[in-house]
Amino acid sequence: MPLPTPAWTAVIPLRAGSKGLPSKNIRPLAGKPLYRHAVDQALLAGAQRVVITTDIPEVLWAELPSQVTLVERPPELAGDTVPMAPVLQHALHTADCHGTVVLLQATSPLRLTRDIEAALAVFAGGYFELVMSVTSADRGVLKWGTLRGNRFQPLSDPAYCFANRQSLPPVVRPNGALYVLNAERFVASGSFVSERIGVVEMPAERSQDIDSLDDFERCEAALEAAHGQ
């Protein structure tokens, strides 16, 4: 019998600045602002609360469902070089979040509620400190390395550098669509890093991330095609 899913909070980070596609988080996508897709997905998947951390005035002034809590992001956490960890830590502390949290990136609108539900189910097992969504990647990266002066340092097993690509094990990469974690642990540590990371795999067609107008139009076409079925 599957374990019951505990109450959980969704956190959606939205930043005003975007070099690839200005104002992308509030740009209309398939009938509603991009960020509302993440809000609606969270509520449909059963979130008891949705926390939006943002510096976007249009979002801070928007009429949103009663389950939504807005956290105004300070300027020092709104720059394009600021990593996600301190942004999430600030949001969790400011909104007084507890227990299970699902971080949803608004720029992954092709994520489905069943992806969120699957990640929550893995996290509810109690073994993993973090569960994240991944998608298949080119296994050829196992042949790569970094440079230490003029010395080659393999990224993985040195034998992989000289193996046939077909014999290499499958590789996945984080797609950024969602992360599940414990609020108290994250506020204390301020880091995603863990020795116990679980995954849920999403297909490439649902793993698209919006960074440019081409990405946006591709996701919009996919959503409209799905709604037309």
Q: According to the CATH classification, is domain 8-135+172-228 in 3.90.870.10?
A: no
- The pLDDT assigned to 5 comes to 59
- The pLDDT assigned to 199 comes to 97
- The pLDDT assigned to 229 comes to 52
Q: What is the pTM of this model?
A: 0.90
* Measured distance CA(215)–CA(208) in Å, rounded: 7
| Residues 136/138/139/144 CA torsion (nearest 10 deg) | -130
Number of helices followed by number of strands (H, E) in the chain: 6, 11
Residue 9, exposed/middle/buried by CB under 10 A (0-12, 13-18, 19+)? Answer: buried
Please report, in tens digits, the pLDDT of each residue of the chain (229 residues total): 445 556 899 999 999 877 778 899 999 999 999 999 999 999 999 999 999 999 999 999 999 999 999 999 999 998 888 999 999 999 999 999 999 999 999 999 999 999 999 999 999 999 999 999 999 999 999 999 999 999 999 999 999 999 998 899 999 999 999 999 999 999 999 999 999 999 999 999 999 999 999 999 999 999 988 776 5
- The pLDDT assigned to 118 comes to 96
